[in-house]
Amino acid sequence: MNNPLSQIFRFILKLVFALSAAVLAVGLLLVALTVFALSLLKSLITGRKPAPLMAFARFQQFSQSGMWAASPSRPPSPKAATGQVIDVEARELRDDGSRF
């Protein structure tokens, strides 16, 4: 049999942990909202776009014509077919077996 005092203590302990977790979650949410609001205010004052929007714009730019453009599942992009020349320095590779 469980002691009634033990059950009450466990309930109070669970309640304290649940309340502290809720306070922590609300506090983190308030900090995130404050940082976001200050970021928007800074962008309004400086006249620049907000930093989170710029990050998403860069991601979209690179996803359309970045490293995934030459994947075999997609056709070549129009930028790759324009005949751009990439200048590289050639060097001779020797196969003497001392690589490993």
**11: confidence class by pLDDT, cuts 50, 70, 90:** very high
Are 50 and 62 in contact, with CB atoms under 8 Å apart? no
pTM of the model: 0.48
Residue linked to tokens 């942990």: 17
Domain residues of the chain, as ranges? Answer: 4-66
Name the more confident of 51 and 25.
25
Are 50 and 40 in contact, with CB atoms under 8 Å apart? yes
pLDDT tens, 31-54? 999 998 998 899 889 888 777 777
Question: What's the rounded mean pLDDT across residues 56-67?
Answer: 68
Structural tokens at position 89: 């320095």
CA distances from residue 38 to 1, 28, 52 in whole angstroms, order as listed: 56, 15, 12
